Amino acid sequence: MRNFILNEALGAYKSAKGMAWVSTAVSFTLILIFGASLYLSLTIFGILQTERRNVEIDVYLKEDLPREMKERLYSTIQGLAGVKDIDIVTKEEALKIFKNRYPEYSDVVSVFQDIPFPESFVIHLKPTWKNPELMEHIVKEISVLPGVDEVYAGTGWIARLSKISAFFITVSIVLLIGLFLAISYVIYQTIRLIINSRRELIEILDLVGATKSTIEIPYLINGTLYGFVGGLFAAIVLKLSLVLVGTLLSYHLPDHWFIYPLLVLIGLVIGLIGSYLSFEEILP
């Protein structure tokens, strides 16, 4: 039986002639586009996650703030929802940080008599609060507190990155739906063509007592093969393209390894569904 099914699946591939190539090529192209979009989404999402982890709110204090007021401010901020802990950065520490970060300008600050940097609190947030909307809310609360000169959270670019990430995720989902419909339609038509060209065989198999699954499986294998081969080539081409781009840019691109088996799996599932629908419609 296994021999029969494999032979017939191969025979069906031959019957499809040019359509087999069309199905495979369409599957390959669309899955590759989806894979590229998914890769971009995941990469941006990854950057966003990393940046969110490092996100903090800098609260610059007014000059010459009395000690008690600083302590009261510290306690008030510590009591706000979403605040995990607070680091105090003194003027001296701020200068040290500046010199470390911008050594080429370290001479510039030495012309000042006093240290030109204000004292500040660096607020670390709880993980669930590290998103632009909630951070904005905390920033507003802190800004109005007495003794606070300025608050910086850098939420603007995180919000922009979030929007870009959401855009790519939406594109990926739309592509997934689109490619599902397009590939399954092409495979559906191919299998339809094959079944029509092999009606006599199917009629004879039915006559001699072959079960529906015995008749059906070769065509399901065939349709699945178009999707599988398309997905496999898409995964290989995507991987090679990323290696090439990484080499050309001399940059180590992040590797989302699970994309490749996912693309193959998507091709396989869509192929299976397309051929199943075709068989069920023509030979219910």
Partner 1 sequence: MSYIEFQNVSRIYQNRWYALQNVSFSIGKGEFVFIIGPTGAGKTTLLSHIYFKEFPTSGRVSVLGYSSDTISRDEIPFLRRKIGVIFQDFKLLFDRNVLKNISIALEVTGESPRNARRKAIEVLDKLGMADKAEKMPNELSGGEGQKVAIARALVREPYILLADEPTGNIDPESSEEIFKILKRVNDRGTTVIVATHNYNFLEKVVRKRVISLKAGKIESDEKFYIK
Q: Which residues bind partner 1 (CB under 8 A)?
A: 1, 3-4, 11, 200-201, 203-212, 214-215
Other CB atoms within 10 A of residue 81 CB: 10
Q: Name which of 260 and 276 has its Cβ closer to partner 1.
A: 276
Q: Name which of 66 and 284 has its Cβ closer to partner 1.
A: 284
CB of 201 to partner 1, least distance (A): 6
- Burial label for 94, CB within 10 Å (0-12, 13-18, 19+), is middle
CB of 211 to partner 1, least distance (A): 5
**Closest alpha carbon to 133 in 169, 107, 159:** 159
Report residue 131: phi and psi, to 5°: -135, 155
Other CB atoms within 10 A of residue 62 CB: 15
CB of 271 to partner 1, least distance (A): 24
Angstrom distance (rounded) from CA 168 to CA 114: 49
Which residues contact residue 177 at a Cβ distance below 8 angstroms, ignoring those fewer than 6 apart? none
CB of 215 to partner 1, least distance (A): 8
Q: Name which of 205 and 268 has its Cβ closer to partner 1.
A: 205
Q: Name which of 182 and 210 has its Cβ closer to partner 1.
A: 210
Instruction: Quote the tokens at residue 236.
Output: 């290989």
Angstrom distance (rounded) from CA 255 to CA 245: 12
Which residues contact residue 28 at a Cβ distance below 8 angstroms, ignoring those fewer than 6 apart? 229, 230, 231, 233, 234, 237
Distance between first and last Cα of the chain = 22
Q: Name which of 149 and 206 has its Cβ closer to partner 1.
A: 206
CB of 189 to partner 1, least distance (A): 22
At 59 the three-state DSSP class reads: strand
**Closest alpha carbon to 6 in 152, 284, 247, 222:** 222
Q: Name which of 104 and 200 has its Cβ closer to partner 1.
A: 200
CB of 41 to partner 1, least distance (A): 45
CB of 282 to partner 1, least distance (A): 16
Q: Cα angle vertex 225, ends 6, 270, to 5°?
A: 135
**CA-CA distances (angstroms) from residue 108 to 51, 95, 98, 104?**
30, 11, 11, 9
Q: Name which of 133 and 203 has its Cβ closer to partner 1.
A: 203
| Residue bearing tokens 């660096």 | 122
CB of 9 to partner 1, least distance (A): 14
Q: Name which of 15 and 184 has its Cβ closer to partner 1.
A: 15
